Structure 1
Amino acid sequence: MTNLRRQGREAGFTLVEAIIVIVITGIIAGMVALFIRVPVQSNIDTRSRAELADAADLALRRMSRELRLAVPNSVAVYSNKLAIQFLLTKTGARYVNVLDGAPATLKPLDFVGGNNTFDMVGAAPTGRQAIVPGDYIVIGNLGIAPANAYDYGKGANNISRVSAVAGSRITLQANSFSTTQSPASTFQVVTGKVTYVCTPGANGAGTLQRFFNATDLSAGLGALGNGALLSDKIAGCIFDNTVLPGQNGGSLMTMVLSLQHANGERAQLVRQTQLDNPPS
C-alpha cells in the first residue's frame, strides 16, 4: 500500500519541468516565426503592389478610353501637368449639305441664314450614342477662335446645342454655325467637358478625380462640374501631351501614376495614348 501511494505522488510533471518545456517551446516557436515572417511579409507586400498596380491600370485605361473620344484640338494639360481637360464625344454623323442635291424633304445644315433645323444623312445613332436634347453639335474644331468649341456662347462659330431630335432631324437651340464647315460634311456630338485632376499626397494620401460639366464648357479649372473619385492612394502624377511632327495635328499623351500603400509599398504605371486630332 505504501509503495502505491509513493508511485501516485511521483506521477506527472514538476514545476521546473513545466517551465523547461515552456521555455523550449517558446524558443522553437521563435525560430519558426523567424523563418516564416519573411515569406509571409513578402506575400503581403506582393499583394499590396498588385492591388496598387490594378488600381493604377484601371484608372489609366478609363482615361485613355475617354481621351480617344476627345474632340480634336480640345485636349489640354493644366496645373503643372497634374490635370487633363477635353471635350467628350459620344458619336458622330454626317449632315445634309446644300451641295448634296438632296430632295426637298431633307433640310441641309444652314451656314448662312441661321436655320435651326437640319437632317442627318442616314439613320440616327441609337442606344448610348443616341443624340438627345442638351448635347452639342461640333464641326471642324481648330482650338482657336472663332472655331473653338470651348467658347460656346462666347463667339464660337463651330458649336451649337441640341434642343430636340425627331428621327434623323435635329433642331438646335440656336444656330451658331457660320463659316466653319467640314470638307466631309461631318459633325461630332459632344456631351460635355471632362477634367481629370490629380492631387498627390505624402505616403499615398492623394486622390485622382474625374469631373464632368455638361453646361459650362469654358476652358480651364474654374468650372469643373460634378466630381467623382477615380483612385485614391495617389503619391504622384505626371500628364504630358506632346505634339507629333508630321501627324496632322496628332499628339502623344503620356500619363504616369504613382500609388503608395499604407505599408510603404509603391507602384508606378506609365501609359501612352496617341491622339489623332485633325478636325473633321
Structure 2
Amino acid sequence: MRPKFKTPGATMRGFTLVELVIVITVTAIIGGISSTFIRHSVMAYVNSEAYYQLADRADVALRRMSRDVRNALPNSVWVSATGNYVEFVPIRAGGRYRQDDFGRPDNIFSVLSEPVPVTAGDQLVIYNLGITGADVYAGDSIRTISSAPGSNLTQVQFAGAAYPLLSPASRFYIVNGAVFYVCDLANRRLLMYSNVAIPSAHPANFNGLTARVVADDVTGCSFTYTEGVMQHSSVVTAQLELSKNGGVVRLVNLINVVNSP
C-alpha cells in the first residue's frame, strides 16, 4: 500500500511561536501568584508550629519549677539580688513527732504519723523560720540524722545539740540538699542544680557543679520573691522568654509558697 503524502499548500495544525510564548507567560504569572499565596500559607504554618513548640517548652519548664518550689521547706526559698537564680531546700519526707521525746539525752523522738523513709545523707529540720536563731542555712534548725538508713522508721535519732525551737504543731521534715534554678543567659539556658550541700551564706556558689538543662533557647529569665503577710504565704514570680527562628514566647508564672513551719 502506498504511503499518503500531503499535497503542497495543505493546512497544518499547531501552535505558533507567539501563541506558545503567550501561554508560557500566562502560566508563569499564574504560577507566581499561586506560589505567593502558598508561600505565605506555608510560612504561617511553620511559624505557628515553632511558636507552639516554644510555648510548650516554656510551659513545661515553668510547671516543673513550680512543682519543685511548692515542695520547698518553709522559709527556705531565696532569690538572688540580681534575680538570676532561685534557691530552696526541697522536702523529701516529713511527719509529726512526740513533743515529750525531746527530753531524752540520746536525741531520739517517736514518729506519730506514718513511718518515714531515711536514706544516706538525709537531714532533719524542725521549725525553720528563716530568721536568726532558726535558719536552716545558718545551721540553726537542721541536724544530721544518725539513725541507720532504712524505710518505715518509727523512731528517728539525730546528732548534735538540741533544737533551739520546737514546732508548736510538732512537725518535722526530712531533707537532702538544696536545689538551684539558674538563668544562664550567656548560653541561652535555664539550668537546675540538685542535691547541692545546703549553703551557709548567700549568694551561694554553685560553680563547678553539674547542672541539668531544663530549657534552651532562653533569651530572657528572672525571678522575684515577694513576702506575704507574716511570711506565711509568699510568692515567687518566674519570667521565662524563649526565642528561635524569629519566634518569641514570654511566660510569667506566680508560684505560691507556703511558709507555715
**TM-score, normalised with respect to structure 1:** 0.79
**TM-score, normalised with respect to structure 2:** 0.85
Give the % identical residues. 34
CA RMSD of aligned residues (A): 2.7
1:1-280 mapped onto 2 (5 Å cutoff): 1-3=4-6, 20-78=22-80, 80-98=82-100, 108-109=101-102, 113=105, 115-125=106-116, 130-151=117-138, 156-163=139-146, 164-165=148-149, 167-172=153-158, 174-200=159-185, 206-219=188-201, 220-223=203-206, 225-244=209-228, 246-261=229-244, 263-279=245-261
Give the Cα–Cα distance (whole angstroms) in 1 for the partners of residues 253 and 127 of structure 2. 28
TM-superposed CA distance for 1:270, in Å, is 1.0
Give the Cα–Cα distance (whole angstroms) in 2 for the partners of residues 143 and 4 of structure 1. 111
Return closer, same or farther for 1:2/1:150 CA change in 2, 3 Å cut-off.
same
**Which sections of structure 1, spanning at least 5 residues, go unmatched?**
99-107
CA contact 1:95–1:109 (8 Å) conserved in 2: no
List per-residue Cα deviations over 1:16-58 (Å, max 9, x = no partner): 7665544433322211011122222111111111111111111
Task: Give 3-state SS (helix, strand or coil) of 1:143's partner.
Answer: coil
Give the Cα–Cα distance (whole angstroms) in 1 for the partners of residues 155 and 7 of structure 2. 110
- Which amino acid counterpart does residue 41 of structure 2 have in structure 1? P
- Structure showing greater radius of gyration is 2
Give the Cα–Cα distance (whole angstroms) in 1 for the partners of residues 133 and 66 of structure 2. 28
- Which amino acid counterpart does residue 236 of structure 1 have in structure 2? G
CA contact 2:133–2:164 (8 Å) conserved in 1: no
Task: Give the number of aligned pairs.
Answer: 253
CA contact 1:159–1:177 (8 Å) conserved in 2: no
**Which sections of structure 2, spanning at least 5 residues, go unmatched?**
none
Task: Give 3-state SS (helix, strand or coil) of 1:62's partner.
Answer: helix
Task: Give 3-state SS (helix, strand or coil) of 1:230's partner.
Answer: strand
